[in-house]
Amino acid sequence: MFWQQIDSFIPANSPLAPTDQSHHLVFVGDRLLAPADAPHWRPLHQEEWRWLDVDRKATHYLGTLDGHPCYAEDVEGPAPSGYNSIDLRSLLGLANADLFAAAGRGWQIVQWHRDHQFCSRCGQPAADHHSDRAKQCASCGLIAYPRLSPCIIVLVHRGEELLLARSPQFPAGMFSTLAGFIEPGESAEQALAREVKEEVGIEIAQPRYVSSQSWPFPNNLMLGFHAEYASGEVRPDGVEIIEADWFRANALPKVPGTVSISGWLIQSYLASLQAS
Ligand SMILES: [Zn+2]
């Protein structure tokens, strides 16, 4: 099995001019506009964007979607009539992996542009860099690139048992894999061993990289692993993890779907058990 392939959205930085078939991801605050009559969520077409009655703040080129230029549009004002707005998390259940990746990239770039108008070193205005996707301070020259926070996410297994856990924010009954931020100076494997130990008190062995996913809540790159249980008793830390346990492969609780890498790590491990 392979991680859900993203092949129709191709990120790029060198802007292409809009065409009749361009796609526009329109952000109002932290919500995305969608035509109210569309059966599934979709970006706006070029003609819809051209006539949209909103206050336009900034346009960011994202790359190509289905071979056509795709842009994130930062606008103000209420959603115009004929349009709904949804939050990005809701999009997880409404869009395929390509659309979710495009929207996630758009949201991260829109947020970065809004939040980096001034230099973090000297406080003077920062302008778009002449060639890179970056902001450069006109006064001191400091260059700031969009922020990306690498995280590990891991399914720990013990034969036919999977270690799944609940964080306080999860919907009732939902369990998932463990995850955490990689700290400065750490390798992904070190972060993985540390996070699992901190969150549930056990030691792991044989971490094996499986796949990755951009996760725009707010700007994470999730590096997905499988790892074997080595030693220790499961003891949730009570803060980030309120409940954790071993579940047999044929008796799993409610887990995330495979649009998220957590769901994918679980399903790919179940598939490897069936294959063995
Ligand atoms: Zn500066």
Note whether 170 and 245 are same-domain residues: yes
Q: Is the pLDDT of residue 93 over 80?
A: no
Note whether 68 and 161 are same-domain residues: no
Q: How far is the CA of 105 from the centre of ligand 1 (A)?
A: 26
- How many whole angstroms from its chain centre is CA 84? 22
Q: How far is the CA of 139 from the centre of ligand 1 (A)?
A: 5
Q: How far is the CA of 126 from the centre of ligand 1 (A)?
A: 7
Is 98 inside any structural domain?
yes
**Spatial distance between the Cα atoms of 260 and 213, rounded to a whole number of angstroms:** 8
Domain boundary residue, one of 72, 91, 115: 115
What is the chain's mean pLDDT, rounded? Answer: 94
Could you tell me which of 8, 7, 16 has the C-alpha nearest to residue 60?
16
Give per-residue pLDDT as tens, 191-235.
Answer: 999 999 999 999 999 999 999 999 999 999 999 999 999 999 999
* Structural domains counted in the chain: 2
Domain boundary residue, one of 61, 89, 115: 115
Could you tell me which of 255, 179, 247 has the C-alpha nearest to residue 212?
179
CATH of the domain at 33: 3.90.79.20
Note whether 161 and 84 are same-domain residues: no
Tokens 């103000």 correspond to 76
Domain that holds residue 157: 149-275
Is 131 inside any structural domain?
no
Is 138 inside any structural domain?
no
Nearest 5°: the CA angle 73, 75, 79 is 110
Tell me what the mean pLDDT of segment 113-133 comes to.
95
Note whether 16 and 98 are same-domain residues: yes
**In whole angstroms, how large is the CA radius of gyration of the chain?**
21
Is 132 inside any structural domain?
no
Percentage of the chain exceeding pLDDT 90: 85
Q: How far is the CA of 115 from the centre of ligand 1 (A)?
A: 15
Note whether 68 and 173 are same-domain residues: no
Q: How far is the CA of 109 from the centre of ligand 1 (A)?
A: 21
